[in-house]
Amino acid sequence: MAQIRRVVTGHDSNGKAIVLSDGPVPTVHANPIRPGQLSFEVWKTHATPVPIAAAEPEPTTGPRSLQPPRNGNVFRISIVPPETEETRKLTPDEARELFRQSGAGDANTFGRGGRHPMMHRTETVDYALVLEGEITLILDEGEVELKQGDVCIQRGTSHAWSNRSGKPVKMLYVLIDGKFAPELEGKFWAG
């Protein structure tokens, strides 16, 4: 398994900047239904503005959650394996189970208008950067090919990431808690 090094800074008792930890990301999730998929939970916050203390407990432990905490955010690096024929043939119930195991069973939109088993919608703004490889962003209307260095700003839309390249893709995600505007109420199933 690949490792990702994380350096966390903080303050000593005199207020001087120091390194609090330097080592592998401590929380890594795999999904048995999608072999090869890994999510490295790099950091998580639970409030905005983020309280900055001298030190704090590890924020990435606990149950897995696709979405950030209310008023918080998640910084995640994921390895997305090549899509398989089995993935494309998932039933809506199987797709929802996959998302339940990711801590977001209600986010899956397949069978509720989503046109791909991995389609989902969260009430978040997500910054997604392709670190390595190529991936396809699937939306309700259309698809977009993204390559290394490309960025997607995903704004609460129903979407899926489809790796058709035959090689693992490394993605960086920053997920920020959001709120759907009133004019979107009733326009789609929001989870």
For the chain, give the mean pLDDT: 91
CATH no. for 5-11+28-184 = 2.60.120.10
How far is residue 122's CA from residue 73's CA, in Å, rounded to a whole number?
13
pLDDT digit string, tens, across residues 162-181: 999 999 999 999 999 999 99
Domain ranges of the chain: 5-11+28-184
In which residue are the tokens 């890594």 written? Answer: 28
Q: Which residues of 72-97 are buried (b: 16+ CB within 10 A; e: fewer)?
A: bbbbbbbbbbebeeebeebeeeebbe
For residue 124, name the pLDDT band (cuts at 50, 70, 90): very high
Question: What sign does the dihedral 56-60-61-62 (CA atoms) show?
Answer: positive
How are beta strands 73-80 and 38-45 bridged, if at all? Answer: antiparallel
pLDDT digit string, tens, across residues 16-65: 999 999 999 999 998 766 788 999 999 999 999 999 988 788 999 988 88
How far is residue 107's CA from residue 94's CA, in Å, rounded to a whole number?
13
Bridge partners of residue 76, in order along the sequence: 41, 173
Contact yes or no for 136/162 (Cβ under 8 A):
yes
Q: What is the pTM of this model?
A: 0.90
